[in-house]
Structure formats: C-alpha cells, structure tokens
Amino acid sequence: MTSKARTVGFQSGERNIFFHILTACNLSCRHCYINTDQHGTTTLSRETMEKWLELFADPDKKSNVIFLGGEPTMHPDLAHGIEKAKELGMAVTVDSNGYLFNDLLHKTNPDLLDFLSFSLDGPDAEINDPIRGNGVFEVCTTNMRKAVDMGYNVSVIYTVSNLNIAHLHRMIPLLTEIGVKRFFIQVIGLRGNSAQESGGEQGWQVSPEQWLDIVPRVAAQAAEAGIHVTFPKVFLDPDEKFECAGLVTENFFIFPNGRVYRCPLCEDHPIHALEIKDNALVANQGLTEDNFFQLNIAEGCVMNKLLQPDTISYDEQGRPNHRISCCLLKQEILPA
C-alpha cells in the first residue's frame, strides 16, 4: 500500500494550549527560540500552573495541552501539572530535550501523559550535537528507549534547517529501531538566536526547492516504515486556500510572564493579544497581533512576510511564486 499525504488544518472546535511553564534550560541549542527579554525568567509555581490550566479548560472543546519550556522537565511540579491537565479533560504532551529531569518517567505514567515528545535534530551525534550540544544525542536516545520500554507513546520533533536537511532520511531507521510512533518535521523559523546567528554560508533556512524536494519524500518513506508523520505545508499550491490560524483556530502560546500570544511568529514582539493578570485572562488594547491577522496579502501569512521575507520568492511580474502558510496547514501521512 502506498502512503498518501493529506493536508489537515487544525480541527475546528479544538484548542491547542502551548504552555511554557518556565524558560530555564540546561542546554544552549544554536537555534533556541527562548527569549528571556520578552518572556522573563520566572518558573511558575504549582498553584499558578493549576490556575492557568483552569483558565484554558473548556469541557465543550477537545483541548490539547503541550508543556514546554525552556526544558519543562526541569520543573519539579511537571508531573502534578500533567495530572491536573488530565483531570481537566485535556490531552497532554510534554516536549522535552531528552534529559527528563526529576525522574519524570516514574513520576507520571502513560495513562496520564498521551505523548512524550523528544527534540532531536540529527540521526547521529555528528549531526545533532553541533546544533544541540555535546553528548545530547546519547542522552536523548537513551531516554527515548527507556520511555518506549515503559510503555509511553514517544514522538520526535526534527527541526529542519540547512545544517541537517540532507540527513533527514537517516532518521527513519533510527526511529523505527527505537519504536517511535510519531515524527514531527518542522521548519526552522527566524526567531531568537537563529535570527541573530548565521547558520553557515547559506543561513539557517532551506529554500522552497530543497524543502519540496526532500521533506515530502522522506515523510512518505517514514510512513511506509510504519511511523505517523506530520510536517508543515509551508508552500501552498495555487488552488489551496490560505487561512490565518489567528482568525480561525484557538491556539494559545502562554509564557511564564503572563503573555499569551495567538500567533507563534509574534512571540519575540510585545504585541500579544492576551495577557494573564492576577490569574485572569484579559485582552490587550491598542496595536496587537490581532490587527495583523486581518491583512489579506498575496504572500499568504502576513507575519512571515514582515518577519522573514527571505522565505518568499517572486516571479518576473513580481507575483509570489508560492503563498506561505506558516502555522495552520499540515501534511499528514499515516503509516502504510
């Protein structure tokens, strides 16, 4: 059977809560997007974590919470947060760099934690460690194996950049051997350190041609190998509809200083639409990210055009070759 890619948007009526519970991390990845000037250095208390989860709980909607950092397993009360989110009826994911501090695998269990996601940017230490740090590949893959052995659903996030796109295909045997169920391929965004530091002669970003040539093909091969693969659509076909996620979905990106964004590309700028003040969610006034979502431009995602215009190429008449969909449409390939 041949695996076939299908394009999926976020499901309507569903909410996705990306919950940064701290900004501290034990690593210093070259492409780290954490920006303490904008997001602070607070570690949320157990009580605050509970109250903020309650703010986003809605029994009428399927809600997914993704615990993030920094490194979320450095939070001593993460296991408690997972339990609380489950109590509130949410599907729970933790995105970890693989170090799994505070004995997370034993403090929680696969019935409470729906997915444990590991960030890995290369199929071996030679590719991964120059991006994520010396020794990280070994620690991360060792803990992935432990998690699979203990019955957790394990997924992997691979951030594609110029530094590792040529090695994407070599992830398939590694993931299959470890028993990884889901593979999220994501494209690097020019934010945080990656916006300031050169990723080499060609910069961090991959060209549309490289992306289109390599990513869908490797994703199909991974699905053939039995892995559920998701990757961003990024470059829309002429007949595909562009919709800004800020207008049509309920995505919330929560930071420990109380900022709540609707758009992931806006996170480095103080234009958040919402804020948590005294444990209540309030809408900000004045110029916020909301004002940009309305703009209808030929290039698709307006924040992409403003913040990372080098992702867009134009034909001789000055028309964009592709509209860019930054965060809504995903390509999904189910295992063969």
Interface with ligand SF4 (CB under 6 A): 25, 27-29, 32, 34, 69-71, 97, 244-246, 263-265, 293, 301-304, 326-328
Tell me the closest approach of the beta carbon of residue 121 to ligand SF4, in angstroms. 9
Asked whether the beta carbons of 310 and 206 are under 8 A apart, the reply is: no
Choice between 28 and 41, CB closer to ligand SF4: 28
Adjacent-strand bridge partners of 15: 63, 250
Tell me the closest approach of the beta carbon of residue 217 to ligand SF4, in angstroms. 25
CA distance 143 to 47: 29
Choice between 184 and 220, CB closer to ligand SF4: 184
Tell me the closest approach of the beta carbon of residue 193 to ligand SF4, in angstroms. 8
Residues 170-203 as b or e (16 or more Cβ within 10 Å = b) = ebbebbeeeebbbbbbebbbbbbbbeeeebeeee
Tell me the closest approach of the beta carbon of residue 227 to ligand SF4, in angstroms. 22
Tell me the closest approach of the beta carbon of residue 120 to ligand SF4, in angstroms. 11
Tell me the closest approach of the beta carbon of residue 133 to ligand SF4, in angstroms. 8
CA distance 198 to 76: 35
CA 4 to chain centre: 23
Dihedral sign from CA coordinates of 218, 223, 226, 231: positive
Adjacent-strand bridge partners of 92: 65
Tell me the closest approach of the beta carbon of residue 239 to ligand SF4, in angstroms. 18
Choice between 44 and 220, CB closer to ligand SF4: 44
Choice between 50 and 95, CB closer to ligand SF4: 95
Choice between 265 and 276, CB closer to ligand SF4: 265
Residues whose CB is less than 8 angstroms from the CB of residue 104 and which lie 6 or more positions away in sequence, other chains included: 73, 78, 79, 94, 96
Output the CA–CA distances (angstroms, integers) from residue 171 to 163, 183, 194, 312, in the order listed.
14, 9, 23, 28
Choice between 327 and 333, CB closer to ligand SF4: 327
Choice between 156 and 265, CB closer to ligand SF4: 265
Nearest to 35 by CA among 257, 208, 249: 257
